[in-house]
């Protein structure tokens, strides 16, 4: 999940809280928040990003629909590819799940290319292996995490980061 418009920490916390109330979704591990440079379209504000591990008791398409609905509920407007947004939620990876449809591509096609995903992902799954490579060596291969900075918590009531 990511955000670079509005009070990002609060938006992300509220969105995660909303997801935690969904009956078919069980939130597991949640990474810290990371301040990251924009990717793709670089002439915009920095993002806050986090990765969440969850268990979903329905189809992957159903989960993606839930994530897209949650984005809209928090003011997401899709005006340009990789542009600024109040909330962005992607389905990145599903254990033993592969989908290549117009609606859903799993694993996410840019999963292994984006440090803003890999660094928080490695925090909650440090032994993750993809395409025969461990996540730590992939982070080093992409230039390390020099531009990815763990965010200090502001304490404005964001859930769950205010308790970390």
Residue 145: active-site member: no
Residue 90: active-site member: yes
**DSSP labels, the chain:** -EE-SSSHHHHHHHHHHHHHT-TTEEEEEEPPPEEE--SSS-SS--EEE--EEEEESS-HHHHHHHHHHHHHHTT----STT---S-B-----BTTB-EESSS-EES-TTGGG-HHHHHHHHHH-TT-EETTEEHHHHHHHTTTTTT-EEPPP--SS-TTGGG-
Q: Of 58, 81, 85, 138, which is the active-site residue?
A: 85
CB of 39 closer than 8 Å to CB of 82? yes
Residue 88: active-site member: yes
Residue 43: active-site member: no
Q: Of 55, 88, 138, 145, which is the active-site residue?
A: 88
Q: Of 43, 55, 77, 90, which is the active-site residue?
A: 90
Q: What is the rounded CA–CA span in Å between residue 76 and residue 95?
A: 28
Rounded (5°) CA angle 145-164-155: 100
Q: Of 43, 76, 77, 114, which is the active-site residue?
A: 76
Q: Which residues are catalytic?
A: 76, 85, 88, 90
């Amino acid at each position: 999940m990511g955000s670079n418009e509005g009070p990002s920490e609060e938006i992300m916390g509220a969105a995660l809280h909303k997801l935690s109330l969904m009956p078919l979704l069980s939130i597991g591990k949640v990474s810290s928040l990371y301040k990251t440079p924009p990717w793709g379209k670089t002439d915009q504000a920095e993002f806050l990003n986090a990765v969440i591990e969850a268990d979903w008791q329905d189809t992957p398409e159903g989960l993606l629909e839930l994530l897209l609905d949650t984005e809209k509920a928090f003011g997401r407007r899709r005006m340009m590819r990789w542009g600024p947004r109040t909330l962005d939620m992607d389905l990145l990876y599903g254990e033993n799940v592969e989908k290549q449809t117009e609606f859903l591509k799993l694993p996410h096609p840019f999963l292994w290319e984006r440090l803003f995903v890999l660094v928080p992902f490695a925090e909650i799954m440090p032994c993750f292996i993809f395409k025969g490579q461990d996540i730590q060596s992939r982070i080093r291969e992409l230039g390390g995490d020099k531009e990815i900075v763990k965010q200090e918590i502001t304490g404005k009531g964001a859930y769950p980061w205010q308790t970390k």
